[in-house]
Amino acid sequence: MTIIPGFEAGTAEVNGVTIAYAQCGAGPPVMLLHGFPQTHAMWHAVAPELARDFTVVAADLRGYGASGKPDGEGAYSFRNMAEDQRALMAHLGFDEFHLVGHDRGARTAHRLALDAPEAVLSLVVMDIVPTHLLLDQLNRHVARAYYHWFFLAQPEPFPETMIAHDPDTYYESCLLGWGSAQIEDFDPAALAAYRAAWRRPETIRGMCADYRDALSADFADDSADLDKRVTCPALVLYGADGAMARAYDVPATWADRLTNYDGAGVPGSHFFIDQSPVETTRVLQQFLKKQG
């Protein structure tokens, strides 16, 4: 099921997991990946506009939404998440595609571009600094704003038990806590989709596992790849009023990871896609159309 107007929902068995997605449009393929604690529904206002010119696929990451929630240490590494999405696009007939990600989806997208550069025509990362940089050079301002990285990464079942007491209160505090967002910034249908997903114990577990693996498998993978560069055309977008913009010169943090990129701020906080969908769409259309 999808709330994105005009899109058809589907699932695919790829890389040993079920991945849920929604698809619409014709033209060059574009994959959209959401972040924490959302689902592919976050693209409800952007995806239909992009589908006028592109074949758009918006997918749920493993552990999130309607996608599978496997067990096992390392199961939620960005490397596994990236392979899920590359395999999904290949399953749909797209060996090459443009890749857009927000938050965890952006970290997955960065890993996919490192591991399978032949598949990525262009890359857009939204409101993140590189994972290794954030963890290796953590400062008190980022730690205060992004405390959830370290809470969610605590051993099971501590965070799961705490969150399950009142999932709406916890996850909505995340939606509102990384900038200037208000609950009214989120479309009611999208918010209902997020709530339906994050109220499920298996989703709570999957999202915690995602953050556990960030501090172990992902940090190790990124440490091993510090010398690797993404060479395709890239765009670094960030919320001009968000926590990352206050703590970093966000585009500058990517200078030694991307060789061909631009950066731009969009009005809003971490969830600027929800707050400024028209501006987000305009910037994405401009970048993607420039790629030919």
Active-site residue, 270 included: yes
Classify residue 196 as exposed, middle or buried by CB count within 10 Å of its CB (0-12, 13-18, 19+).
Answer: middle
Q: Which of 60, 103, 185, 222 is catalytic?
A: 103
Architecture of domain 8-290: 3-Layer(aba) Sandwich (3.40)
Domain ranges of the chain: 8-290
At 121, give phi and psi (nearest 5°): -75, -40
pLDDT of 177: 83
Structural tokens at position 194: 């997020």
pLDDT of 1: 87
The share of the chain scoring above pLDDT 70, in percent, equals 99
Q: What is the pLDDT of residues 268-290, one digit of tens each?
A: 999 999 999 999 999 999 999 99
Residue 179: pLDDT over 80:
no
Q: Which of 218, 222, 270, 274 is catalytic?
A: 270
Active-site residue, 34 included: no
Beta carbons within 8 Å of 85's beta carbon, 6+ residues apart: 19, 31, 33, 59, 61, 108, 112
Band of residue 75 on the pLDDT scale cut at 50, 70, 90: very high
Band of residue 181 on the pLDDT scale cut at 50, 70, 90: confident
| 215 DSSP assignment | I
State the average pLDDT over residues 144-158: 96
pTM of the full predicted structure?
0.98
